[in-house]
Amino acid sequence: MSLPIIDLPSARPWPPRVSAFTKPFWDALMEGRLITTRGKRSGRLTFPPKPFCPHDWGREVEWVELSGRGKLYAQTVIHAAPAAFAGEVPIRNGIVDLNEGLRVAARIVGEPALDTAVECVVLRYSDGPLFGFRAIET
Amino acid sequence: MTRRVAVIGGAASPIGKLQTAADAPLQALEHEILAPLVIDAMATAGLPKEEVGALVFAMCRPYTLQKYFATFMANCLRLPLTGTIMEVLGNGMTGGMAFDVAVNTVALGQADVALALGINMESQVASADHAMSTMRATGDVDFHTIFGFTPIAWYAMDAVRYMHEFGAARAQLASVAVKDRRHARLNPIAQFRKPLSLEEVLAARPIVEPLGLYEVPPRGDGAVCLVVCREGVAKATGRPYALVRGRGFSHEGAHQISEVPSDMTAFVAAQGAAAAAYRAAGIAPADLDLAELYAPCSIVQVLAGEALGLTPRGRGAAQAAAGETSLGGRIPICTSGGCLSRGHPAYVTGLLTIYELWEQLTHRAGERQVRNARLAAGSCELGNYNAALIHILEAVA
């Protein structure tokens, strides 16, 4: 399943560091997939992805693909932003509860109301991806 | 075996712009501001300098040039010590932790008198530049900071969720800032003392929606010194003091956001810390005469007040608007004017909290005195109240 992709002409204002472990996450996102890790013993998902399970400290994890769908739990519009983000103001960010039972924070695209069903979109900047959520069109 | 501990003295600078521009010919130096406060605080305690056995500092902001500030100050004040000396850091909890460690040092018998103190200088650093540092203090640098979240952006999301779930009115939330300003007008150290109307709060330029300029923390500097001692030492001075009756701490094991969906606006760490503090003190929230809450935004004061059981869940904003948390109301909250108007030099805010409680419980609070104040609570926090540290103090005269 491939997520919708929105191409953006600029570079990310403050790009994430990528480790050998998190590289699969960012590579998958670039291809339109939202993935994270699940503890093999606990069976529980975690986000951000981690090389162990924070719930039971199991050392074995596996990558799983997420639906990218959920509900908007909270949001804000940031007008006073750190210097690096001056070019993106105003910034709408929010918190989404994914259908898989994970809570994530991300950019919000459009102006969905709280508790609206939302879907993940890949924000493909010139230097790499971020992710956001927007209302699912009905 | 631990000993009972009292707050016997204190002194604070005016809160506001103390820091000088980098190119100013005459500079404001941290030790020249803080050292006189140490002398003032010890004078209020009525104790000689030789009694001091420990110094616990809130860490300075990175903008303070002098490193190893604690031992530098021990030299500056010529204070040999047998208890401990350190600088502590815990984001917004920093000042509260400095107080907590000073109390523990005395409770454990490592010192009879300990100073909890600090100075926070940052006002000359532009907000957008300061935010380049603070944005890395909340959430995950590689998975949250990348979107441009700032510390107060998380509180703003609390406000949106709270209004959505409980139907709190925007104006009710804004009334917290008006109330805090009324309190600050009676506080000589407050950063903002001009009248502020509800209309002005609602019309302010947006900072993190729905919160505008007057509902987010002002930038400012400040310095404070508290004198903490064994209760026997306090008694021997013959002066009124504030006894530490209870202490509670809780951290929910989450940094800004829990990946396991939870009730974000419940502030569960504050609930847990408050329950522990009330249990230790043997009191219920209804026994409190006032509370000084660490609340950088209007919404935070509402949510923390609810988590401490001062107002019912979902009713905190409405009760603030109704005057229940004002001076003269059922349970006055942030009689100092709080972070919003007293000011928020963040690393010493937790110390300013105890300073206000000490002033109130020793009946030094002047026009903002809570009549017959006997029991008071102070809180501090970090993240989105992911951790909370709460102290209960009692007046002893």
User: What is the rounded distance in angstroms from the CA atom of residue B117 to the CA atom of residue B140?
Assistant: 30
Report A:53-72 residues touching B (Cβ under 8 A): none
Predicted confidence (pLDDT) per residue in B75-111, tens digit: 999 999 999 999 999 989 999 999 999 999 999 999 9
Residues in chain A within 8 Å Cβ distance of B156? 76, 78
Contact between chains at A93 and B149 (C-beta distance less than 8 A): yes
Residue B392: phi, psi to the nearest 5?
Answer: -110, 125
Q: Which residue of A has its CA nearest to B161?
A: A74
- Tell me the mean pLDDT in the region B182-199: 98
Q: What is the mean pLDDT of residues B262-290?
A: 98
- Contact B50/A at CB under 8 A: no
- Tell me how close the Cα of B303 comes to any Cα of chain A, in angstroms: 15
Residue B2: pLDDT band with limits 50, 70, 90:
confident
The string of pLDDT tens digits covering residues B297-325 is 999 999 999 999 999 999 999 999 999 99
State the pLDDT at residue B57.
98
The Cα of B157 is separated from the nearest Cα of chain A by a number of Å equal to: 5
pLDDT tens-digit readout, B227-253: 999 999 999 999 999 999 999 999 999
B133-139: which pairs have CB atoms within 8 A and are 24 or more residues apart?
A: B133/B62, B134/A82, B135/A14, B135/A82, B137/B91, B138/B255, B138/B256, B138/B383, B138/B384, B139/A105, B139/B255, B139/B256, B139/B257
The alpha-carbon gap from A18 to the nearest alpha carbon of chain B, in Å, equals 8
Residue of A nearest to B206 (CA): A79
Helix pair B69-76, B30-45: axis angle to 10 deg: 60
- Looking at beta carbons, which residues of chain B come within 8 Å of A8? none
Is the full-model pTM beyond 0.80?
yes
Cβ within 8 Å of residue B322, ≥6 positions away: none
Task: Grade residue A137 by pLDDT with cuts at 50, 70 and 90.
Answer: confident
ipTM: 0.97
Confidence of residue B1 (pLDDT cuts 50, 70, 90): low
Nearest CA in chain B to A79: B207
A18, A22, A81 member nearest B150 (Cβ): A81
